[in-house]
Structure 1
Amino acid sequence: MSILNRFFNWGLIGSKYKTCITLALSQIKLVVNKRDAQLKLMRQEIAQFLQSGQEPITWIRVEHIIREQNIWAAYTILELFCELLLLRIPVIESQRECRLDLKEAVASIIFAAPRCSDLPDLLTVRNLFITKYGDEFIAAVNRPIIEKLSVYTPSDEVKFNVLKEIAQEYNILWDSSKTEAEFNKLPEDLLNGSKQISSVTAEIFETKSPNATLWPPLFSNTQVQVQPLQPPKADAILISTEAKQSLADTQKERPVSLESLDVLERSRVAIVAAHAANELVVEKYKVE
């Protein structure tokens, strides 16, 4: 009885593998054809922009074309792997462990299925393989699939080569010398403005004598002697008394706290004293 159950279970599992892989394979073919048509339209648009001389737009849109080409290439590899697994379903049924010649295909499907949102049937196949084999041999994933499905910014050289291919495909006379010189330019060459300024300043310093200074001293002929501050004059004291009187008048008009009055009075007296001391220093410099 157990032998019959095992036989029928194997038959059900085998038919499930075959059905899921077949559905995933047909879905991959539909998506590949659809993306192929989209790529042709996008390349035609790029060719029109190149012909009209709108290079900045092509430089931006070519990144999307590179991304679509990478996805299309990854899907074609997955299509081949699904066809291989569809032929090896009897081997998958009969053996409990994954064979060496199937590890790359199984591991690539397990890796790529979550990254292919428009292939839900491939996710079902992935769950079947994880249930049977696990995901321990993920290191056997196909290297081009990892590179094509990874998200990264293409280099300027790659973008330039794709634009050249499109121009050659549609027989467009595109002068690529300016674009090629732009991305081949070193980062130092983009800073010519600062180098010119630095050269001008160097010429100014070279024209000066080695003993000369760029700016004259503030006191070239006079010797400044720092003297201690003296107490304020009587006028300053009178001003402080007038300030006190104005504070008293304002206090009568509106209630003010004693702490705020004390702080205001001290600050005003300090300002008046500093002003008087500054006048004394200026008069002394004038006399000298």
Structure 2
Amino acid sequence: MLEGLLKSKFYAKSKSLLKMSKARLEVLKKKKSSVARFLKNDMAELLRSGFDYNAYCRADGLLVEQKMIACYNFIEQFCGCISSNLSAMNKQRECPEECKEAAQSLIYAAARVSEFPELRDFRTLFTERYGTPNESFVNEEFIETLRPKSTTKELKLQLLHDIAEEFNIEWNSKSLEQKLFKPPREHSVNISRTDTLLSQRTRARYRISYPTKTTDNQQNISDISRFCSKLFFSDSSKINSI
């Protein structure tokens, strides 16, 4: 009697969560799709107008939106699996084999998709019924989709090519590729040469030289003091004359 009551509560709670998740998915997917569509149109217009670097700079934003849409598609797929097999899940104490991936993937998503509160309710429901989560059953492609990672230049360039093809834009990426993959200038060498030149000019201006090594430490200190004094008094006199 008690076991049947608990199962009925599980069934009712699951049904309610599936209904709310469906509504949530519709809202989230509509919002993300709208943003992605706007970004794609904007990037296409930039490519058409010759501002390919500006389009390239917007690629990260579009990739983020596409990633989240893919994530929502997975969640929708998992919820569909739970819905189709809910009667079997209600009858069996152990999670049916065909539902393990869906159930564990929804649990896995709960801590990673903050805008989807129903996932946390699914996590509570499934862990109470089936015990400790087992990530070995989580969909590997879903894990890869949720994994934080930096986008490469090659990936963003490919996105631009896809947009150009979709919108029938004749675009040659050679100029942008040369700009993106141009070897960095050797700033450290330039800075070193500049510092050396300034140092030489400073010594010539004040007709002094840096203290050299000597066994007499007191002489070193004296040389440094004279060097600083000449710099100070010279700059002070200029300030006073203004």
TM-score normalised by L of structure 2:
0.71
User: Are residues 193 and 17 of structure 1, via their aligned partners in 2, closer, same or farther at CA, if it must alter by over 3 Å?
Assistant: closer
In structure 2, C-alpha distance between the alignment counterparts of 1:159 and 1:99, rounded to whole Å: 41
In structure 1, C-alpha distance between the alignment counterparts of 2:19 and 2:168, rounded to whole Å: 41
1:120-139 alpha-carbon deviations (Å, 9 max, x no partner)? 12221121112112344112
User: Are residues 160 and 135 of structure 1, via their aligned partners in 2, closer, same or farther at CA, if it must alter by over 3 Å?
Assistant: farther
* Unaligned residue ranges in structure 1 (runs of 5+): 196-266, 272-288
In structure 2, C-alpha distance between the alignment counterparts of 1:182 and 1:99, rounded to whole Å: 55
Partner of 1:132: 129
Q: CA deviation at 1:94?
A: 1.6
Partner of 1:85: 82
Q: CA deviation at 1:10?
A: 2.1
Partner of 2:167: 170
Partner of 2:157: 160
In structure 2, C-alpha distance between the alignment counterparts of 1:136 and 1:84, rounded to whole Å: 18
Q: Which entry has the higher C-alpha Rg, 1 or 2?
A: 1
2:41 alignment partner AA: Q
What secondary structure sits across from 2:23 in the alignment? helix
In structure 2, C-alpha distance between the alignment counterparts of 1:61 and 1:106, rounded to whole Å: 36
TM-score normalised by L of structure 1:
0.61
Matched, 1:49 2:40: no
Partner of 1:150: 147
In structure 2, C-alpha distance between the alignment counterparts of 1:93 and 1:126, rounded to whole Å: 16
Counterparts of residues 71-220 of structure 1 (less than 5 Å)? 71-183=68-180, 189-190=183-184
Q: CA deviation at 1:57?
A: 2.1
1:116 alignment partner AA: V
> What's the RMSD between the two structures over aligned residues?
2.4
Q: CA deviation at 1:55?
A: 2.5
In structure 1, C-alpha distance between the alignment counterparts of 2:118 and 2:8, rounded to whole Å: 21
Q: CA deviation at 1:193?
A: 9.5
In structure 2, C-alpha distance between the alignment counterparts of 1:194 and 1:118, rounded to whole Å: 46
User: Are residues 136 and 16 of structure 1, via their aligned partners in 2, closer, same or farther at CA, if it must alter by over 3 Å?
Assistant: closer
1:20 maps to which of 17, 20, 44: 17
1:122 alignment partner AA: L
In structure 1, C-alpha distance between the alignment counterparts of 2:101 and 2:48, rounded to whole Å: 44
Partner of 1:258: none
User: Are residues 146 and 97 of structure 1, via their aligned partners in 2, closer, same or farther at CA, if it must alter by over 3 Å?
Assistant: same
Q: What count of residue pairs does the alignment treat as equivalent?
A: 191
1:43 alignment partner AA: K
